[in-house]
Amino acid sequence: MIEVEGLSITSAAGPILRDVGLHVAPGERLGVVGESGSGKTLLAMSLMGMVPDGLSVTGSIRIDGAEMCGADESAWRRLRARRMAMIFQEPMSALNPLRRVGDTVAEPLIRHLGLAPRAARDKALALFDETGILDPERRLSQYPHQLSGGQRQRVLIALALACDPELLIADEPTTALDANVALRITRLLVRLAEERRMGLLFISHDLAAVSRTTERLMVMYGGDVVETGATAEVLRAPAHPYTAGLLSARPSLAAHGKRRLPTIPGSVPPPQELPRGCRFSGRCGQEIARCAAEMPQPVTTAPDSWAACHLLQARAKGAGA
């Protein structure tokens, strides 16, 4: 569906992206990870034809067989309206604060699909339902500030799905959310990609989120793609030192069962009793709680993934936390 070859983006100050290649087929989920400033967002923007003025784009971006690199704005607009959609990190700033979220989602249905207002409202309601928005009927008439961060991100996903895109680009969609909500959003994206046979390009700093969301992974460093492969394989045996560094700096809970825990730099976050305040659920939560209960001294640490890593690591060493 989308094939990129030799894509480079250059500013007056020099190259930003160099010779990037990727492809996403219908229903396929590709992850992009990389340090801040490595060019992930600009890559996503280039696939939407939205690279800021002043930057030059060369190479090939083929979408459904049509060459889009160098295409004019009207060609991109047609494509953006019907074939591709993008969601961003901060749902609050991506939604119009003065508009009811139901109207926001209904608008492209009226504008691009020509639906009557009543039909657009019904479709918005169905999209709210599909994206797991609680009490969808009532939510339609609410404003963004009346929703939680997770519900706002679901509204943005519903908006992105409005015109049945073939590719969804999600740029750090879980970064502003807490661990539990982030987990639910990534599960939702996987389900939607599978059910709709929609391609997903998932950009993230969070290796745990990437590992549970994508099948293939591309690692970027300083504007270059330094590694690509099956996500599980790249995370199990990284070939590039940058990927290995990323893994040891930000260990993922998903990987804990499969490999030795790396040493975690930095200190444990502010005190808070883990089992009671633990935000993890299911097997992970039980494992962390059991682990905390086994510690020789009371556990006083924050219930986030870093704390969980410390706990599991301490248990592995047979030490107290």
Is residue 14 at the binding interface for ligand ATP, with CB under 6 A as the rule? no
Out of 2, 16, 200, 247, which residue is the one contacting ligand ATP (CB under 6 A)?
16
Selected range binding ligand ATP among 31-39, 276-284, 286-294, 300-308, rule: CB under 6 A: 31-39
Report 99-128 residues binding ligand ATP (CB under 6 A): none
When binding is defined by CB under 6 A, the residue of 38, 153, 204, 305 that contacts ligand ATP is: 38
Near ligand ATP by CB under 6 A, which window of 47-55, 124-132, 244-252, 311-319?
A: 47-55
Residue 213 near residue 189 (C-beta atoms within 8 A): yes
Q: Position of tokens 């999209």?
A: 127
Residue 263 makes contact with ligand ATP by CB under 6 A: no
Structure token pair of residue 297: 């001294």
The yes or no reply on residue 93 touching ligand ATP (CB under 6 A) is no
The CB-of-74 to ligand ATP minimum distance in angstroms stands at: 22
Q: Would you count residue 219 as binding ligand ATP (CB under 6 A)?
A: no
Give ∠ CA 89-100-197 in degrees, rounded to 5: 50
Binding window for ligand ATP (CB under 6 A); candidates: 35-43, 60-68, 151-159, 161-169: 35-43
Total residues contacting ligand ATP by CB under 6 A comes to 13
Instruction: Return the sign of the alpha-carbon dihedral for residues 154, 152, 286, 236.
Output: positive
Q: Is 167 in contact with 44 (CB distance < 8 Å)?
A: no
Under 8 Å between Cβ of 152 and 92:
yes
If DSSP codes are grouped into helix, strand and coil, which group holds residue 192?
A: helix
Our finding on whether 34 is near ligand ATP (CB under 6 A) is yes
Q: Select the span of 21-29, 34-42, 93-101, 184-192 touching ligand ATP (CB under 6 A).
A: 34-42
For residues 144 and 98, what is the distance between their CA atoms, to the nearest angstrom?
A: 8
User: How far is residue 46 from each of residues 8, 12, 50, 56, measured CA to CA in Å?
Assistant: 10, 17, 6, 10
What's CA 54's distance to the chain center, in Å?
27
Write phi, then psi, for 178 (nearest 5 degrees): -75, 170
Quickly tell me which residue has 């790249």 as its tokens. Answer: 234
- Does position 169 interact with ligand ATP (CB under 6 A)? The reply is no
Query: Using DSSP, how many helices (H) and how many strands (E) does the chain show?
Result: 15, 10
Minimum CB separation from ligand ATP for residue 273, in Å?
33
Among 37, 241, 245, 298, binds ligand ATP (CB under 6 A): 37
Contacting residue, 55, 92, 163, 295, with ligand ATP by CB under 6 A: 55
Q: According to CB under 6 A, which one of 14, 54, 65, 270 is a site residue for ligand ATP?
A: 54
The two three-digit tokens of residue 156, written as one number: 């943005």
CB of 112 to ligand ATP, least distance (A): 27
Cross-strand partners of 7: 20
Please state the closest distance from residue 54 (CB atom) to ligand ATP, in A. 6
Least Cβ distance, residue 29 to ligand ATP (angstroms): 19
For 145-184, give the secondary structure using H, E and C: HHCCHHHHHHHHHHHHHCCCCCEEEEECCCCCCCHHHHHH
- In whole angstroms, how close is the CB of 224 to ligand ATP at the nearest point? 12
Is 94 near ligand ATP (CB under 6 A)?
Answer: no
Site membership for ligand ATP, residue 48 (CB under 6 A): no
Nearest residue to 160 via CA among 187, 200, 117 = 200
Positions that interact with ligand ATP (CB under 6 A): 11, 16, 34, 36-42, 52, 54-55
